[in-house]
Structure 1
């Protein structure tokens, strides 16, 4: 059946929460003293916003069909990504059938390859791709998960990322991932504090609750090995996540060889496209990959990444991304559970991840979400009309 062709593409930007979940007001746990690659500099150690983690803001991509149906998606990238969408990528969409997502993705990627391949450009491509899937689902009257072949389970199970895994356990999550607070620049005292924090949290959650550690690219192989070994032996840490630079595939391969048998090494939040993940697989860098669907190339590319992971017997547990991940995870056998980012300021309550930008954003109850909550056409969410958005580059 012929679908209504694409009439226009719009790129909007917003500030304060939304897809740029680091863009929070003061006092939020996500901007606390958390280890980062910039923590080697004391002036950028206490707050991640101090070195500009929130400068880009949210990108909203809207794709409107000739019949007025509009698909949209949100990711990060702000004004620079909006320029790329309006002045480069839009040419590959206007007048096209939304079902041509494979050809459209290919043209967007290879036309930007000379200045893209990762980072901001792939974020922009991801936003366009997700908006295209949202439009396709709305035109066909089907949820995105149905377009992918349908769910393989009746509900999703979640672990929670936030400052309080003990509260996550009380809220019904299967596990809790806590941020690492002290990096190598803080020496042995910092290492001792990290281990004490893990030990304290283990005492609160008990021995059977999954306890994980997010290191946000802040460590070197030696430090990560010492931390992982002691955290496993003393406190039963389930996994160590994104311990070193995402470009150091060789370091990840060494770390995975170094950690105790049974300890999981995970990464991929800041990796992009099938080619980047191929390096992680072929070099045996990790046990679980964690692509962000809004940063890795969108849903079209994530399907390829997931198939490649399956062939290498790796699990795919996407980074955050709310409904965009949920529609994917529920259709994949090698994605057995999902991540939920605790965006409440002190991680004590379950609130929508992309608040206040999205309406009808489903959230887990007691750590679970019925697939029936995802049965609206497209991704099943709408933009909040009360949130101010700006279109900086009308084409």
Structure 2
């Protein structure tokens, strides 16, 4: 553990960006037969040739981005997110100039410079993914230099443990594993008509019968619906199956549609979204326009921890619940510090999914996983985010600067 003071920290000397294929942060990059690629409704499902598999239209083409920051004393901080080779180019060729020679304690200024220097070609998506990866690596490095876990630097835990709901194809098994709820992928979108809608209700009804009435069931619609279909699905799913929430039903840019859906939804059914939203400004739109009951930023996509602090504070001031999109330790360290984030998401990355496995395997070593649907705060007590990069995976650095 270093004894360096916060103001006298070792500065960043090297910036490296790698790409990796096969699972991990790009969790859609899976082999054949995985539940996450089995006829899940998408905006591309209007085209029959892209309906069965999300990989068929390229959901996994980018792969994982690994950002590594090495300080002058040899301490290394890192993070994983999505973005692959294009994001690696942005990190090494553009963002590195705001990092080399700087203290990781300057994360606010660094974030500001990264964002506004790329605003003319960024603002959301790939560029903010790259910025998020850098920001997470900064926080990991800062924690390691200070000898503190990230959640301590964010104000400390407000509860002794995290409790989780599980996202996957088998909520019935998730209940047996101790999770508080299960979120199903929606399989059929508007292009499959009334028959598809009936199949969606049948699938949800089957899971309700297996799970009982006391278990949360949610639907992940992955941006695939229109307002009319989403309204009809929400009404029937509430009336017939006791659905807890309907998630990301519409395009993330359709704030007006979300506002209408929230008004149309049955009283008691929650409308949630934000997985593919970014920055304080995007989430301000969602909240100011009363688009949803719960916001779901992904810390690896929305701007990193530095930006998530601002998003969470605005949500707290508005009385809006924030349940981040599943992003392993990067969200755990944040959720444990927030009263308006009472539980967290766990992505069931086992192909079945019939067992609990580390979410970002094989890229992270030491990644905690829920036991009986919970993780103790004490399991997050290692410096930084508490994980190490698996050096045995095939790391590729396409744009080296040193």
TM over 0.5: yes
Partner of 1:107: 113
Partner of 1:250: 256
1:211 matched to 2:217? The reply is: yes
Partner of 1:65: 71
After the TM superposition, which residues 261-280 of structure 1 pair with which residues of structure 2 at under 5 Å, given as runs?
Answer: 261-280=267-286
Partner of 1:178: 184
Partner of 2:394: 388
Partner of 2:226: 220
Query: Residue 39 of structure 2 aligns to a residue in which SS?
Result: coil
Partner of 1:357: 363
After the TM superposition, which residues 31-180 of structure 1 pair with which residues of structure 2 at under 5 Å, given as runs?
Answer: 31-180=37-186
Query: Residue 43 of structure 1 aligns to a residue in which SS?
Result: helix
Following superposition, the deviation at residue 288 of structure 1 comes to 0.3
Q: Among 297, 300, 311, which residue is 2:303 paired with?
A: 297
Q: Among 19, 35, 44, which residue is 2:25 paired with?
A: 19
Q: How many Å separate the matches in 1 of 2:334 and 2:391? A: 27
Q: In the comparison of the two structures, how many residue pairs are matched?
A: 395
Query: Residue 61 of structure 1 aligns to a residue in which SS?
Result: strand
Query: Residue 105 of structure 2 aligns to a residue in which SS?
Result: coil
Partner of 1:322: 328
Q: How many Å separate the matches in 1 of 2:318 and 2:104? A: 32
Query: Residue 100 of structure 1 aligns to a residue in which SS?
Result: helix
Q: Among 305, 308, 311, which residue is 2:314 paired with?
A: 308
Which structure 1 residue ranges, 4+ long, deviate > 3 Å from structure 2?
Answer: none
> How big is each residue's C-alpha offset from its partner over 1:154-203, in whole Å with a ceiling of 9 and x where there is no partner?
00000000000000000000000000000000000000000011100000
Q: How many Å separate the matches in 2 of 1:241 and 1:8? A: 40
Query: Residue 251 of structure 1 aligns to a residue in which SS?
Result: helix
1:230 matched to 2:236? The reply is: yes
Q: How many Å separate the matches in 2 of 1:235 and 1:186? A: 21
1:331 matched to 2:345? The reply is: no
Partner of 2:352: 346
Q: How many Å separate the matches in 2 of 1:145 and 1:35? A: 36
Query: Residue 345 of structure 2 aligns to a residue in which SS?
Result: strand
Q: How many Å separate the matches in 2 of 1:146 and 1:259? A: 39
Query: Residue 321 of structure 1 aligns to a residue in which SS?
Result: coil
Q: How many Å separate the matches in 2 of 1:37 and 1:166? A: 28
Q: Which runs of no fewer than 5 residues in structure 2 stay unpaired?
A: none
Q: How many Å separate the matches in 2 of 1:217 and 1:302? A: 22
Q: How many Å separate the matches in 1 of 2:18 and 2:361? A: 17
1:366 matched to 2:372? The reply is: yes
Following superposition, the deviation at residue 311 of structure 1 comes to 1.1
Q: How many Å separate the matches in 1 of 2:193 and 2:98? A: 51
Structure 2 length as normaliser, TM-score?
0.98
Following superposition, the deviation at residue 286 of structure 1 comes to 0.1
> How big is each residue's C-alpha offset from its partner over 1:31-66, in whole Å with a ceiling of 9 and x where there is no partner?
100000000000000000000000000000000100
Q: How many Å separate the matches in 2 of 1:24 and 1:234? A: 34
Q: Which runs of no fewer than 5 residues in structure 1 stay unpaired?
A: none
Q: How many Å separate the matches in 1 of 2:302 and 2:277? A: 6
Q: How many Å separate the matches in 2 of 1:235 and 1:97? A: 53
Q: How many Å separate the matches in 2 of 1:365 and 1:253? A: 37
Query: Residue 266 of structure 1 aligns to a residue in which SS?
Result: strand
Following superposition, the deviation at residue 357 of structure 1 comes to 0.7
